[in-house]
Structure 1
Amino acid sequence: MRKIVIVGAGASGVYLSVLLKQKYPQDDVIVLEQNQSPLKKLLATGNGRCNLSNQNMDQQYYDSDNLDIVQSIIQDFDMVSQMKEIGLYCLYQGHLLYPKSEQALSVKNVLMQRAQEAGVLFFYEQEVHRIECQNQYRIVTSKQTFHADIVILAMGSEAGKLSGMNESRYHILKQLQLKVIEPLPSLVQFYTSPVLKVLKGVRVKGTFSLMENDKCIHQEKGELLFTDYGVSGIAVMQLSSFYKKHHQYQLYIDFFDELSHNQLCQYLSQQSSLFLEGMLNHKIASYFQKYQDLPIQKLAFLLKHYRLDIQGIREAQYAQVMKGGLSLEDVTYDLELKRYPSMFAIGEILNVAGMCGGYNLHFALASAYRVAQAIERNVYVKNS
């Protein structure tokens, strides 16, 4: 009988525990979690609807230091069929995959029910302080010590208010002398200058460009939300995944992306004395009132290239994911640590960050699936 310890009861850790315990019921599968309950971040995924995957699954939607490994893992995992295996019925809405129930709670309940049926052992409020390598692995927590033949690091990241916000996950990696890419919030809001507080709460649809030195870094068509600190919204979240420290970025807003510059000029020339009132949200129209004396050509340019200077991104507790984490240079294609046999890493602790649209949850579960296969192939078969 082998002992397997999974550090972290997030989506990847719980899913892996189910796969392993179902396959090898004779072995002890233990999940350690620093919070009081499992899958806390999963409940907030997709605004509670749990966007599981995306039909356009490709490495181009990820940031990592080894996209070849990422591509191999995401392409090897069929989310619909694998979720069906554990009793979760999923359907595509456009290119986004959701559980039929459209409830993250359903996903949590199914995963936990399968884990409990299989006999997975969960230990909560167990903050791991260090992992020691002796004849067996020794996992020292805030409450007790566990021994394991196989260890899986599934600690997630600092992102989100539900993560526990404990940095010890990175300290553990550094204690093991593993390479850690500096964590940076991603899929997060921007601080801007100016801050258009008069537009707080106003949403606008358009095209939004992340610029630096007159070069377009990335462009997103979608929705932006004005806030009392800067801007938010799905389009902004996507743009933030291209943000790098120590760069000076600008955000350009095209309020009329459906019209060319000349078409907008023509439309503006036909406007009555109610300046922009019939063209934009009332608060936005009122804000642009100060520009009503501009020549039409300049006004049209302003409305299609309205600039906000980006002062930075919001902190980790507001982010959906973190870029950075354990470098993929330190793992094999099976996500086994090169320096530590039978120790693996999955999910967001790895330096893999996807864009909005189910990419991060797909990778989390796909990485668990990859490790389950690797453990069967490389650990059990070799030692049988």
Structure 2
Amino acid sequence: MPGRTRRRRQGRRATRCPSRPGPIRPRAEARCGAGSSTPTRPPGACPGRFPRASAPGGRCAVVAASAGGGRGGRTARVPCGGHPVVVHVTCPHGAGPVPPGVPPQVSPGVSPAGDSSRAVPLAAPAPPLGNTSGMRITLPSGTPAEIHRHDNPRMGLVIACDIWGLRPLYDEMVRNLAEKWQMSVAAVEPFPGLDLPADDMAPRAAAIPRLSDDDNLRDLTEAADALGTPVTGLIGYCLGGMYCFKAARSERFARIASFYGMIVVPEAWRSKSQGEPLAHLINGYAENVLAILGGKDPYTPAADIDQLRSTGATCVVYPEAEHAFAHDPSRPVHRPDDAADAYARAEAWLLSALG
């Protein structure tokens, strides 16, 4: 049966990288055979990089069994600290295409300063080999997070996600911010343990009153601890931007950049476990906060912005921008020029923590 023979041969060829030897990059999830959520690194492994996994002949060991996401997603066993770690990986040498359903999304805008390199692509080709490594981890609280450690980070950065939670947008954002800004980066799921639809806003909004400030801020702190960087900042969007304001109650994050976070908790979201952002800012460290805001955002009216300024937070308002104008180029409200400028300001603000 020639067809069956041809398929078997194709499967065998798929177990190796067709281009050149090299390390594989952990992609979506790691499961440690010894029960540890974070595999230990063997002696001599480069900090921030997984050890090399090779097939006979020194070639990239990307196995043929599909682990979801099309040919780009595979499973491989990587020796780590004396026991195997099973990881979902993508071959960085061109062995497989980008997973289906994740089209490249690049913010092409140029800031008023004319520095187009400051625009942050939200999905782009993989960074140079060895510069970052990333995987899905579980924090001590049980909350999932996507983490990418840079080999030589200037600082750490935690991302507080929007109402849609962890998804490919944030997987790519974490990787690209790590590469672009030379930081170790982690993004945290805001609805741990809840089975919520990926395409329906109503159940997610209805779940917000059940969230706890203490739990969510604990998760952001645990993500910062997982990065292990001496200086760590926080950036967040929408719901996550609101939690950025609340995180200013402590000095755990040296600098905070909130993108269109709610300054006052919306009426439908209020509960005993949801404190007011302004109260956290007034009693905390508002001077560490940069707020990126849209002049046409119904969630942040002018009166609320005035109150935010009065706490000592720094506010930058883009007059024509609506809610969520910067972090997701697929949205109709996306404004490339404003987004590029906002990201440049956020980067400078975060790095100002280094002196």
Q: Same fold (TM over 0.5)?
A: no
The interval holding the TM-score normalised by the smaller chain is: under 0.3
**Which structure is richer in relative contact order (CA contacts within 8 A, separation 6 or more)?**
1
Give the TM-score of the pair, scaled to structure 2: 0.25
Pair member with larger Rg: 1
More strand by share: 1
Compare the two structures and name the one with the higher helix fraction.
1
